[in-house]
Amino acid sequence: MKNLITLIAVFALTATAYGQVTVGLIDNEDGTGTVTLDGSTASLPCVGIALTADSSDQVGDNVGATMTITAPPSPFFDVYIDFYNTDPNAANDEDFSDDGGHPGADPAGAGALSSGSVVSLSMGELNALDANSQSQPMNIAIIDLGEAGDVCFSEDELRGGIVNIQGGTEVLANDGACFPITDGECFPACHPDYAEWLAVGKPVSWCFPKQCYGDADGMDQSFGRTDMVSVGSNDVTLLLTGYNDIVYVDPTVDPWIAADFDHADQSFGRTDLVRVGSVDVTVLLASYNDLAATVASDCLDCP
- Low-confidence winner among 182-191, 246-255, 282-291 (lowest mean pLDDT): 182-191
Average pLDDT of the residues of the chain: 85
Q: What is the mean pLDDT of residues 211-217?
A: 96
Does residue 98 carry a pLDDT above 50?
A: yes
**pLDDT band for position 31 (50/70/90)?**
confident
**pLDDT band for position 65 (50/70/90)?**
confident
Residues 280, 221: Cα–Cα separation, whole Å: 20
Contacts of 223 (CB under 8 A, 6+ apart): 229, 232, 289, 291
Calculate what percentage of the chain has a pLDDT beyond 90: 52
Residues 1, 143: Cα–Cα separation, whole Å: 31
Q: What is the mean pLDDT of residues 213-233?
A: 90
* Chain segment 101-153, per-residue pLDDT in tens: 899 999 999 999 999 999 999 998 877 666 667 788 999 999 998 877 888 99
- Do 34 and 26 form a contact (C-beta atoms < 8 A)? yes
Calculate what percentage of the chain has a pLDDT beyond 70: 86
Does residue 194 carry a pLDDT above 90?
A: yes
- Do 198 and 148 form a contact (C-beta atoms < 8 A)? no
Q: What is the mean pLDDT of residues 211-232?
A: 91
pLDDT for the residue 75 = 85
Does residue 232 carry a pLDDT above 90?
A: yes
pLDDT for the residue 91 = 65
Residues 23, 153: Cα–Cα separation, whole Å: 8
Which of 32-36, 78-82, 183-187: highest mean pLDDT? 32-36
Does residue 1 carry a pLDDT above 60?
A: no
Torsion of CA 206, 211, 215, 216, to 10 degrees: 20
Please name which of 95, 92, 117 lies closest in space to residue 104, comparing C-alpha atoms: 117
**pLDDT band for position 5 (50/70/90)?**
very low
Q: What is the mean pLDDT of residues 210-236?
A: 92
**pLDDT band for position 94 (50/70/90)?**
low
Does residue 6 carry a pLDDT above 80?
A: no
**pLDDT band for position 59 (50/70/90)?**
very low
pLDDT for the residue 134 = 73
The pTM of this model reads 0.60
pLDDT for the residue 17 = 55
